[in-house]
Amino acid sequence: MADDFNASKPIYMQLADRINRQILRKELAVGQKLPSVREMAIQSGVNPNTVQRTYSELERMGSVESKRGQGTFVTENQSVLNELRQNLKKEQISSFFADMKEMGFSAEEMISGLKEFISTEERGEQRD
């Protein structure tokens, strides 16, 4: 549990990322209630104040909404979720791009490399 998190990065952000991904994968459905702060703290083995901070951060990002006295829920606002999805995509691509550029790869090499990788991956998945 403890080693699920990178110990030198803020845990509240790591937990927020994790929940956002669960929302995008629809493991947490639109409108679904998130575990209470205490439950989430126990499940993920982190400090309850950290979970509280994660929930506030998610609320600020718009992916969840807190309803007074009822708890925290995945937003039903589809456009916020679409935006979140696009943002995460952009984030990943930009860090991939920066890394590849640093190693001296050209744009063409990146695109062809990606295409090749994806087609191998997909063939592998079909075989499973």
Partner 1 sequence: MIEFKNVTKKYRNHLALDDFTLSLPKGKIIGVVGENGSGKSTTLKLISGLIRPSKGSVTIEGEDITRKVSSAKVSYLSELDVYYSFYTVGETIGYYASLYRDFNRSKAEEILDYMKLDRSKKVKDLSKGNRGRLKIAVNLSREVPVILMDEPFSGLDPMVRDSIVKGLLSFVDFQTQTIIITTHEIKEIEPILDLVILIKDGKVLQMEEVEEIRIHQNLSIVEWMKKEYE
Nearest CA-CA partner of 18 in 30, 33, 34: 34
Using the rule CB under 8 A, is 35 a contact of partner 1? no
Using the rule CB under 8 A, is 46 a contact of partner 1? yes
Q: C-beta of 40: minimal distance to partner 1 in Å?
A: 10
DSSP conformational letter for 24 = H
Q: Residue 51 in contact with residue 64, Cβ under 8 Å? A: no
Q: Round to whole Å and give the CA distance between 72 and 75.
A: 9
Using the rule CB under 8 A, is 5 a contact of partner 1? yes
User: How far is CA 94 from its chain centroid?
Assistant: 16
Using the rule CB under 8 A, is 103 a contact of partner 1? no
Using the rule CB under 8 A, is 75 a contact of partner 1? no
Closer to partner 1 by CB, 45 or 113: give it: 45
Residue indicated by tokens 């995460």: 88
Using the rule CB under 8 A, is 90 a contact of partner 1? no
Residues forming the site for partner 1 (CB under 8 A)? 1-3, 5, 7-12, 38, 41-42, 44-50, 53
